Structure 1
Amino acid sequence: MKLTLRQMQYFEALARTRHFAHAAEAVHVSQPALSAQIMEMERRLGAKLFDRSRAGVYPTALAERLLPAVIRILNETKAVEEMAESSAGLLAGKLRLGIIPTIAPYVLPALVPRAAERYPQLEFEIREGLTANLVEALLAREVDLLVAALPVSDAGLEEQFLWRDNFIIAKTPGAADVLTGPIQIDEIPAQRLLLLAEGHCLRDQALDVCGLRQEGKVFNFEATSMATLVQLVSSGMGLTLLPEMAVPFENRDGALELVEFAEPCPSRDIGLVWRRGSQRIEDYIALGELITAVLASATQKKAA
């Protein structure tokens, strides 16, 4: 009996997702290919690993016992790969970066060419997604590093703060919302506030900042992207909470009126997140320095 790392990867993905199609997507293969490897693994072990039914896919008792050992082997294999990558020099080789959509468009356009110029042997793979999905991908070893709003609570992860991103109220010039800065949080007209849809951490931060988690607060629209929110606000539909890093991009044509908060200004913390025990922390710190430089440059341009 001899199992392959590929079979163990497929086994772990199926045990985690409990869905053949989702598992196949997670490991970037077709569903028939994943199913064939799972069946081959069962044949080699001489035992059933998953119960398949219309209700779903469930690990057998044997699979539950095997899973911790399989995860340990996969983690140790990843650690060996990271050691090899780190020995090639700082930020050399493949780095799979996950980044949330309320940061990605304001960091990546400057970060990628700057990283390529300074670290020509770096090979970026970038995945944009919601925080919860990216954390799951990080724990599943599908990405190496996240850029996200902190904190990201999980005992298996480590974080490093990079930047404090202040919030600003964005509205249409001359609209009915008469707001003059610096504005107090309790002066925000909740019924006019437009937010990102459920799942975006920026939505949760806006609710917390504005104290709008109590019952009776109704929002007339939820957008799936910051660009959509800005277009709606610029057309006079309402106002929104805009991260400061987004201002040079989303208000480049000056269509928005920006109202600053009174001190202490509400903000979000931006940082890096990686798996505890990773062998590439020096790489992550170096990339964090590049990201901080990109954000500082954007802030200076805004001030100018």
Structure 2
Amino acid sequence: MAYLPSLRQLSYLVALAKELNFTRAAQACFVGQSTLSAGLKELEDGLGIQLVERDRQNVSITPAGLEVLERAKAILTASEDLVEYAGATGKPMTANIRLGVIPTIAPFLLPTVLPEVRKQFPDLKITLREDLTANLLARIADHKLDFALIALPYDVSGLRVEELFDDNFWIVAREGDPALKGKEVMLPAKMAERLLLLEEGHCLREHSLQACKKADIQKNEAMEATSLLTLLQMVESGFGIALIPEMAVKSSLLNNTELVAKAMAAPAPKRVIALVARSSTAHVTEFAALSQCIRERFGEGLQKVRTQ
């Protein structure tokens, strides 16, 4: 019979790749250093390739080891999902779902959706984490989150993806700004030069860049905001204009400010709100139910407002 590595051996490799130190890796796996070393040696012998390079001072993963490492992570994640699936069978909508949400969605969608989720599924527990898209997807891959609410376009290859609704971008500027002329406004190059952005890492920054030519906004790259609220404060202070998601415009975010928001002429730039999970997730029922609840409670309401 062909050699098959154990999950424990694979977990040793993952821990060592993270720590690059045998002592700390062994502690993370709750075993002695000799046990971890022996397990890795058995893995290398069984696979017939060297996975780890080591000397008295340094530990590194070989190129072949890096390839094995990615497969090991996938196998361990699928194994954990299998255990969760077995535990959840026969008891749908009673799990503890770890949900990640990006900062430009969380404050506008969650207050509307979460009360409805609690009403429909009182036994479903949801814990939240707000973070940037890349960090949320990394935590999903590491089995530290179950689902994430993000905005597309974004690279979500290999994930289960449910697109929920479109979220158009609106132009926000001070009252009387030339960018607001007309019932539905455009974003010509001379206006794009004044476009303010969120800092690197926010997907809203990339969506704004996609809405116009990057060359048109190079002059403003030195002025970047760390949050949507800061971005609006910069606009109100007269530093420029901004593209803001419709869900933020329809909230109370612009109340008590001198800012005005106007819809952009069709076809308006947009982002697509989506729920994502590992393809091997054990919580398929919860994934479908949460997607439907968000779409019905928030997405359809946003669409209704848009057509009025």
> Which of the five TM-score ranges fits, normalised by the shorter chain?
0.7 to 0.9
Q: Give the counterpart of 1:159 among 161, 178, 193.
A: 161
Which residue identity does 1:294 align to in structure 2? Answer: F
Residue equivalent to 2:150:
148
Which residue identity does 2:211 align to in structure 1? Answer: V
Q: How does 1:94-109 map to 2 (within 5 A)?
A: 94-109=96-111
Residue equivalent to 1:24:
none
Offset at 1:34?
2.1
CA–CA separation in structure 2 for the residues paired with 1:281 and 1:299: 26
SS at 2:193's partner residue? helix
- Structure 2, gaps ≥5 residues long: 45-50
Q: How does 1:47-196 map to 2 (within 5 A)?
A: 47=41, 57-59=59-61, 67=69, 68-69=71-72, 71-89=74-92, 91-175=93-177, 179-186=181-188, 189-196=191-198
Describe the shift of the 1:56–1:93 C-alpha distance in structure 2 as closer, same or farther (beyond 3 A).
Answer: farther
Whether the 8 Å contact between 2:192 and 2:216 is mirrored in structure 1 is no
Which residue identity does 2:196 align to in structure 1? Answer: L
CA–CA separation in structure 2 for the residues paired with 1:173 and 1:61: 58
SS at 2:282's partner residue? coil
Residue equivalent to 2:28:
34
Offset at 1:119?
1.4
Whether the 8 Å contact between 1:191 and 1:219 is mirrored in structure 2 is no
Q: Please give the per-residue CA displacement for 1:51-71, whole angstroms capped at 9, x wherever unaligned.
A: 568997523689658643564
CA–CA separation in structure 1 for the residues paired with 2:175 and 2:56: 56
Q: Give the counterpart of 2:276 among 270, 273, 277.
A: 273
Whether the 8 Å contact between 2:15 and 2:25 is mirrored in structure 1 is no
Whether the 8 Å contact between 2:100 and 2:148 is mirrored in structure 1 is yes
Cα RMSD, aligned residues only: 3.5
Q: Give the counterpart of 2:298 among 294, 298, 302.
A: 294
How high is the TM-score relative to the length of structure 2? Answer: 0.79
Residue equivalent to 2:48:
none
CA–CA separation in structure 1 for the residues paired with 2:160 and 2:40: 39
Offset at 1:114?
2.4
Give every structure 1 segment of 4 or more consecutive aligned residues whose post-TM-superposition deviation is greater than 6 Å: 3-7, 52-56, 301-304
Describe the shift of the 1:176–1:71 C-alpha distance in structure 2 as closer, same or farther (beyond 3 A).
Answer: closer
CA–CA separation in structure 1 for the residues paired with 2:39 and 2:160: 36
Whether the 8 Å contact between 1:10 and 1:38 is mirrored in structure 2 is no
Describe the shift of the 1:178–1:156 C-alpha distance in structure 2 as closer, same or farther (beyond 3 A).
Answer: closer
Whether the 8 Å contact between 2:99 and 2:129 is mirrored in structure 1 is yes
Offset at 1:302?
8.5
Range 290-299 or range 217-226, more displaced: 290-299
Range 66-75 or range 236-245, more displaced: 66-75
Describe the shift of the 1:182–1:155 C-alpha distance in structure 2 as closer, same or farther (beyond 3 A).
Answer: closer
Describe the shift of the 1:289–1:103 C-alpha distance in structure 2 as closer, same or farther (beyond 3 A).
Answer: same
Correspondence 1:257 to 2:260: yes
How high is the TM-score relative to the length of structure 1? Answer: 0.79
CA–CA separation in structure 2 for the residues paired with 1:303 and 1:154: 30
Offset at 1:109?
2.2
Range 183-192 or range 283-292, more displaced: 183-192
- Structure 1, gaps ≥5 residues long: 21-29
SS at 2:211's partner residue? helix
